[in-house]
Amino acid sequence: MATANLNANPRTERGTGVARKLRQSGQVPAIIYGHSREPQSLAIDTRELERLLDRVAAASTVIELSIDGRTARTLIREIQRHPVKRSILHVDFQELVAGEKVTVSIPLVFIGSSEGVRGGGILDQVMHELEIRVDPSNIPNHVDVDVTPLVIGHSIHVRELNIPAGVEVLDDPDATVCTVSAPRASETPVAGVAVVEAAAEPELIRKTKEGDEEGGEES
């Protein structure tokens, strides 16, 4: 289970104007919620948050959120970004409760060198993450997908993955994770074909009529 630490300050003022001022001062408005607590508005340092998001998988990392000296174990549930600038506008945190399972998406990591690829095939990674239901204390950082034995024309499905104990996979067991396909046939034209076709085009020769001047018409 991956964890990270982040500081947050409680705030009482809300509204669009307040959120705009927070962003101008280098902070991101946020909220923490959970079924065992009332939603609480927060403010987080923008640079600290961006540094954190650069080094963790936000969807599956447990964030130890420090609020007024108290630590809350949370998951980031939503990150709102500016549609053009991509700057962070707002973050939602869900507080985790011991023994209460959560639904998260974890990355799939492809390992090994496929036998089919070594033979000229192409590996197509159809899925890049897996949706699971698990106790927060047992969230895996990722799930490995060993493609070593995969030959051309064969696939790996969700049901064939090695899933840690206590993890419930929510994706369709028959969903294709990856497949190795045969190399595409070359579409490069065969040398000489175009030349032959061009040579087959008949040449038009204008026969000069009697009385015409060569290269011109009668005046």
Residues 111, 148, single domain; the answer is yes
Based on the domain organization, do 148 and 86 belong to the same domain?
A: no
Q: Which of 194, 197, 73, 80 is nearest to 135 (CA)?
A: 73
Cα–Cα distance for residue pair 51/76, rounded to 1 Å = 15
> Can you give the CATH number for the domain in which 153 is found?
2.170.120.20
Residue 37, pLDDT score: 82
Residue 88 lies in a domain: yes
The reply to whether 131 falls in a domain is yes
Confirm whether 214 is domain-assigned. Answer: no
In a domain, 201, yes or no: no
Q: What is the pLDDT of residue 59?
A: 86
Domain extent, residue 64, equals: 3-97
pTM as predicted: 0.72
**How many domains does the chain fold into?**
2
Per-residue pLDDT, 186: 54
Cα separation, 170 vs 127, whole angstroms: 14
- Residue 189, pLDDT score: 53
Within a domain: 54:
yes
Residue 56 lies in a domain: yes
* Structure confidence at residue 219 (pLDDT): 38
Please indicate, yes or no, whether residues 127 and 172 belong to a single structural domain of this protein: yes
CB-based burial label for 8 (10 Å; 0-12, 13-18, 19+): buried
- Across the 219 residues of the chain, what is the mean pLDDT of every consecutive 10-residue run? 92 87 95 88 96 91 93 94 94 91 94 93 96 93 95 96 95 97 67 45 45 41
Last residue of one domain, picked from the residues 164, 181, 198 = 181
pLDDT for 185? 66
Q: Copy the structure tokens of residue 74.
A: 């949370």
Q: Is 197 exposed, middle or buried (0-12, 13-18, 19+ CB in 10 A)?
A: exposed
Do 89 and 110 reside in the same domain of the chain? no
User: Do 150 and 115 contact (CB within 8 A), yes or no?
Assistant: yes
The reply to whether 9 and 73 lie within a common domain is: yes
Last residue of a domain, one of 62, 97, 132: 97
Q: Is residue 203 part of a domain?
A: no
Whichever domain contains 88, its CATH number is 2.40.240.10
- 7 and 89 part of one domain: yes
Q: What is the DSSP letter of 184?
A: P
Specify if 188 maps to a domain. no
Q: Does residue 111 share a domain with residue 36?
A: no
